[in-house]
Structure 1
Amino acid sequence: MTHRFDPAAGIGRPDVIAQAHARSLEIGLRASETPDFQPLRRPALRELVERNQSLYTHALPVMETLHAQIVDTQSMVLLTDNHGVILHSLGDSDFVEKANRVALCPGVSWAEADRGTNAIGTALVDRQPTVVHADEHFLHANRILTCSCAPIADPFGRTIGALDVSGDTRGFHKHTLALVRMSAQMIENHLFSNQFVDAIRVHFHARAEFIGTLFEGLAAFAPDGAFLSANRSALFQFGQPLAELQRQPFEALFGVAFAALLQQIARSPGESILLTLPSGVRVVARGEYAAPRRVAHVVAPAQDMGGAMRTPMPGGARHTPPRCAEPAPPATLETLDTGDAQVAAILRRVAKLRGRDIPILVLGKTGTGKEWLARAIHHDSPRRSAPFVALNCASLPDTLIEAELFGYEDGAFTGAKKRGSVGKIVQADGGTLFLDEIGDMPLAQQVRLMRVLQERTVVPLGGTRPIPVDLRIVCATHRNLREMIDAGTFREDLYYRINGLVVTLPALRERTDLAALVTRMLALQPEGEHLPRRVSAAVLACFEQCRWPGNLRQLANVLRTASIMAEGAEQIEVDDLPDDFLQDCVEAADGASARPAVAGSGNDLDGDGSGAVRGAPARMEDWQATLIAQTLARLDGNVSAAARELGLARNTVYRYLRRGGTTH
């Protein structure tokens, strides 16, 4: 849809587009003019790229991935500096000619002062992701374009450039901006990691499955605990600007002494810990340090942990940090045995290899617990005191896996940080390297990994000296590697190097220990909070009939959300379950009943012979209405807080209130 702006009427979209048009008029641009913009000459463009080396280097692989997602859509991907000058472009050949007609090419400035209202210039002025479509452009010449742009910030929050997708107006898609925003955030995260490679980094998110993904929060601290910076996701989770965070000690941000984090990293590298943000939100976190063995030398004695980072508050007020749980207990082969015969057989086979560095390949659908098993294998081995290092081969662009896995020397490529970077293989020296989704590893990296496994040495990018490594390797994938070998996308020689023992984890719906898993997961919840430790019979009945497409990961998420909803109660009830999960239950109930029922269980939970789950509303809208009502009551009618907690738009909550307590 085209949004028109009428300067004569002074109306239009009451947002950035209207303001940008006003700015264009103020600087004296005329909508009908076609300025003659000459690109920078090659030497000048080369110099500009050199001044933006780090941005350019980290953006290129992300641009390639983004372009692959929008290929054949008559569009192009553009990278600019902080003044809107295009540094690099990738585009469909059939669109490049049209782009050249409007000077959409490297070396040309698309700042608002030069081009009027446009996605690049306007996004840089407002420092916000922006879409400018068709005749929303100020210059008539640019109205053949639809453009989506997101600014890129450096690790200290300063805008250093922008990422843009521009294309033919007929190819407009409302999801393009989301792709651009995620790609810009990916670039920011790479810049952040590169900047703070020698810092102590905390990866955190309220949902455990988001750790290690684009959406995790990243906070960096100096060895003495001084706050250095945080990425965009971390700022959102903290709910505070960077300048405010820089004035706070570690303990105020995460509710635990900094020395305790250092001790946890030294004791159990890669293990998760539960922390509490200043808002009271609980997050799963992992501490990371490039040289974990050095951390042990700066850890205070355990008995001094409690007061290591206590800092007086302004005005003499005492600060009582939020409660923080002890680190989550490590997974062991024993704790993973919850009664299912298939899983028990797998654990017995794996246990026979204890102390022997035979590679293990773990197969199974997404969410079946492959990393849990890998961590248990590590913990029950003689290598338990050394690092457990994990890399998800599907979470990085192909061009970054090599540097992440093998590391690189100083000057290995333009924009590489000084002193180089230690790769995951060297980080795992003495311990265990877990390669998740190995089926997604590019062929070129498969060759290099094969050489490492054969020679037990690794040569970083740009280096010549092989570094000896002693590690055990555990790999996992949900793909069929034999089919990939036949298709030529996975190397047969590597396959036989990593499959010393192959085990396949069953899907959750195929397991017989659901009740025991629920009990075990609830028992691992943090002490000190009034969270329930059991579920009602009705809830367990729902669980037994669910298809569990997300397997153990989905079960953990459902229990975590339901526990928060039921905080203060003795057990989790049906009304505490998430709305989307209940929808799955409805769809699983033979498609006939609108209420979750116990399919073929013989249980009569209501005592009326119907087999229906007690307390189950008749429609999905009623489930949502019930959740909204309970949340509003608990939050004293605070609509914004309720919407935020439930993950709903505020309009949905207001609509519920306007309709007298129903959402339909």
Structure 2
Amino acid sequence: MAVTMRVSEHIKEVQSVIEGSQTSRDDVIATSWTRCIDDYHLDPVVMQEAYIVPHTQLKEHRERLDKLIRTAKYGLDALYHQVADHGYVLMLTDAEGVTVDYQGDASLTWELKKAGLYLGAEWSEARAGTCGVGSCIYTGEALTVHQSDHFDATHSSLSCTAAPIYDVDGSLAAVLDISALQSPEPKASQALTLQLVTSCTRRIEMASLMNTFRRDWIIRLSQSPAFLDVDPECAMAVDAEGRIIGMTHSTQRLLSRIKGNNWRQPHALLGCLLSDFFNLDINELPALSRALPTEERLLATIHGDLWFAHAIAPQPSSIQRRKKVVSGSLVSLYGDDAKMADLAIKATTLSMSDLPLLLNGETGTGKEFLAKAIHESSSRKSGPFIAINCAAIPESLIESELFGYADGAFTGARSKGKRGLIEQANNGTLFLDEIGDMPLSLQARLLRVLAERELLPVGATKAIPVSFRVLAATHKALPDLVSNGSFREDLFYRINGATLTIPALRERSDILWLVGQILTGLTDKPVHVSTLAGDLLEKYPWPGNIRELENTLRFALAFCVEGEIQPEHLPEEIKTGLGRPQCVSSVTQELLATLEAYNWNISETARALGVDRSTIHRRMKKERIERHYQPQGKR
């Protein structure tokens, strides 16, 4: 009976506030009640239990927030440890109000799920009325919705305190909520909870900024020198030109105050120069490093307000750190691409020995460039590098070209004979490109040279000793050629001391870096690639790999007269994104198989392949792989 009376009184109060009566409720609550009636057409008389989204939809919501969940994990665990003994539940929701992470007392699972304090619960205002999460999403502010503050009397026993988590671009990313099934009557009892949740969201935003912009300047600000290095209030990321490229929410508000802008318009801040807000130039940032005592690291706004500042220099990427162990010319083969970095490290180690190497990769991926780089990083770098394209020399000439010939071996031949290419590689490196196209008859002769370390020129009676390192390359699957009898098995094992596989261009993340390197070699004039043209170059599947990319850039240079390559300067197939039909690579097959195995769950696929979700999305984009299913309930 008492519960029925409370519900009835609550409904009457909501109705009276909507009609304009005076109320002791906070303005944010009264305004939300009005929204519930006017905007969402909710009825306070109609009470609805919490809504839990279907599992398939929950998976989609969790996937979109996967990176933030991982970033926030430590902070959320620590926060729950602080409040768990007081009966609180911790929920992380996305910007739509769907709970994507949850921690609560397992012994109360049934009660918590019924109350909506559970994984998958949707707490948008449009769905649940005035509530901690929904009202936080609408206002963008941290707040407490306590007991009968809730619009729907179903939730009037709950106390919910929520704070927004903003992305580095200023947009709302998530909401962190601490709720309790039961709590003391006074709303003031939740003041400490509000402090805890806002402090945690600030640290999560700080961690997200630090993780996202490791390779850019990060400036952290505090009004207290004692807290600058341990718990600063604000932080922002700045690029090499001094432009603001990321920020925490407290920084968003600070910069907006300096500019006199509305803090809800982050696009008006991103891209602005640091000097638009502070009396500081990008070149002065090193002076704010820890080389100086904290008290001396002062930074003034353009209005004269002082902040203590800590500037953190760009950190080298994992690729750059790995480049330190890559020797010689191998460093110049790639930009910021993890696969090429791993390849270069492996090649560096192998270059130290005379072990024969087999370089595998599609046509045009740069196998000869890799071979030259290995040679120049080896102990034989002072010797010659002799490259032989086994597919380009006519079969009638290949024997004499490889092995040379003795005096008088042929009618009309030069009187002193000719040194073959293999002999010319003595004390250096012999690179056998497209070795899969070598005739069987010559495979036997090459095998003898590799086994005996001596060669017999055509028409000669005395063998010549030779010493060289063998690098062979092919775009074919040599084991298949061995199986069908077109390639000698004993030769295969002679040249395959180790295999290095070069990724196809469409699988690389440093295409624009390659564009810059190629343009530098093609022209002395400064040439830039526009953003739109760069996007087209990155999206194109490149069936011809680096060779096709170089031809494309030669084509573009012929039409580019202003020093900037635009989309109209590119070949038609690049502009339309339609290349020649291509074979499905083993990498693509592996990706497709893993996606299928995990029901096209991007997060689980990424974990299975040991990469980030962004890598999976990039590969799918390059390979034009589309998700071919719809979640249940949306068919």
User: Greater Rg, structure 1 or structure 2?
Assistant: 2
TM-score for both structures, normalised by structure 1: 0.42
TM-score for both structures, normalised by structure 2: 0.43
